[in-house]
Every structure is written in C-alpha cells, then in structure tokens.
Structure 1
Amino acid sequence: MRTKGVFATGLALLLASTVPASGQMMGGGSGEMGTTGMMGRGMHGPAMTDCPGMAGQPVAFGSEGPWISIALAYAKDLALTSEQVKGLSALRDAFQREALRLIGEIRRAEAGLRASSGQKPLNLQAVEPKVRAIASLEADLRLARVKTLEEGNALLTPEQQRTLSDIVRNREWMHGALTMGAPPAGIR
C-alpha cells in the first residue's frame, strides 16, 4: 500500500513537472517559506514577495516544492497532532488525484493541438480554442495547488509554520552547499 502511495506521488510530481508552466505561480517572491506569501518564483533564493499584502506574514507553504509532503516528513519535528497529519495527508492525496486528472486532460488537449497545428494551411479558428482550453486547464491546476497549500497552511500553528520554514531553509542551504562545494563566507 505504501509503495502505491510513493509511486503515485512520484508519478504526480513527474507529470506535473512536465506540464508547461504548471509549476509557476503569480507574484515575484521566491516561494521560500518564512515571511513570504504563497505566490513566488521558485524554491531557491531569498524569501520576499512583491505581492501587496502578502509580505510580513509567516506562511509555511511557498509556491514551489512539495510543502505538504515536507511537513508530513517532518511531522515529529513540527509536533504535528494526529489530526493535523490526517488533514495534511487528505489534502495531499486529494490534490494528487485532481492534479493527475488535470494533467491527463492537458496532455490530451495538447495532442489535439499538435494535430490541428500540423495541418497546412493552419486553421487558426480550430487552433485558438484549443490553446485557450489548455490555458484554462493549466490555470485550474495552479488554482487547485494554491487552494490546497492555503488549506494546508491553515492547519498549522504559527510556531509550526516558523519551524517548517527553518527546516526548508536549512535543507536549501545544505542542497546549495552540496552542489556549490563550500558554505558561504562566515558560516565556515
């Protein structure tokens, strides 16, 4: 049973990473946790956001990265209650099902678009609705992610949000140290 869950998670992440722009979010932040908003550029880099009204509040889940899965992996460090674990697990599982469904629809729509755009002469009246349908499905996927992260964030206390933020910052520093070779000056 656990193997199926790991496989499903891996498959969802693999498929989601190949959908054009599916991992991007609105806003100008990095997506790192801490005093950022939910919208951001990505998982790496300093944590700030350009979204008005979003800065200055500790938010556990940034826009990139499997934040709910990370929170569950560090359940003991975060002192998550059994109810929090159950709630986060349900959110993650529901999002994975919805993401797989939407990604499948996006793939089918992209295949239809490729078929239509391969015709000569190009029929713009046939291509335009397909492009718009794909954009709508990608927006649905992004919104599902944002809503899931917001619901997951609401399950954590402010202290748990700060702890999770620290965990991710440390993980990112370790990742950077491993890929860059040496720690930044002053941390040696």
Structure 2
Amino acid sequence: MTNETQNELVFLPLGGSNEVGMNLNAYGFGPEHDRKWIIVDVGVTFGDQSTPGVDVIVPDPSFLEGENILGIVLTHAHEDHIGALGWLFDRIKAPLYATPFTAFLIREKLRDHNLAEDVELNEIALGGTVNLDPFEVTYVTITHSIAEPNGLAIKTPLGTVLHTGDWKIDDEPVVGDKTDVAAITKLG
C-alpha cells in the first residue's frame, strides 16, 4: 500500500460541537502514523449555575499534544472562538492566522497572558488564503454578530471542507459584509 492510499482526512471536534462555546476543532491529513493537523478556533465557555465557582471552561487539547500542528486558524473574534488561546497555547504551539480585527483582539489576549513575544500571529486579508501544506485554507466572508466573521474553505488532496464557524444569512447585516454566497456556491 502506498503512502498516498493511506492518506486520510480526519475531523476531530474537541469542543464546540453540539454545544455553545468552547470551540476547538482539528483537521488532520495523512496516514495515521504521520498525520499533519490544523486547528480551527480555540475558545472558552462560561460557567453557570451548573458549575458553581467556575467562571471559564476551556476544551481539553490532550489528544493534540505532541502532534504535528501546522497552524491555528481563527474564524472570528468571539470569546468562544479565541478565548482559550492564552490558557492553551503552550500545549498546542503553532502559528496563528486571523483577519485584522480578530488579530487585534488576539494580541491583547496574548499580552494578558504574557505570550505576545512567544506567538507568531499572521494577519490574513479578508478573502485571503493560507497555505499549510497539505491544507490550503481560504477565508470566506459570512454574516455574524461581530466584525470580520469567516467560514473556512479547507482544501486537501482528498477534497474540500467548508468549516462555517458561526454564521447566518443576512442581506442587511448590522456589522460587516453580507455572506459571500457566490464563494460558497463555487465550492459546490
């Protein structure tokens, strides 16, 4: 069996799936013994009456520790998507990629955790593409309740995944641009 036939595209939701908050999703590509990963979002959720004395809850990244993480791609600047970066970065170290507004808020968060000098933060233009071979990640404008929300078109040799993050279809958004329906349709 050749290495190419052993390649798999894997989706690993470590937080945020089927719940509000604590988003941390990973995409892996390659054979099981030599997989490369990208992480999409690293967020928190907030404690409530069911978690007395707990204010903030972060996802558990244990599975990814020691793995080949190529980058952490952020969809937008809500706390449930970027809020755990300061607490978890040392466990999942990789370059960060975010649009300008999200990058601005991440810088402040990293300063709060004394990580500003330790983290490579790359600003990506709206609609821009990040090449993290074998992944090519293109930011797709969507509508949400914050500036610069994005879906991600994640292209691999085995196909393309549209990771939407948080979104809605709104022809008259209060903040930001309308969802780029043409770009989503083109992914088809």
Q: Which is bigger in relative contact order (C-alpha 8 A, separation at least 6)? A: 1
Shared topology, TM-score over 0.5?
no
Q: TM-score, normalised by structure 1?
A: 0.21
Larger Rg: 1
Q: TM-score, normalised by structure 2?
A: 0.21
Structure with the larger helix share: 1
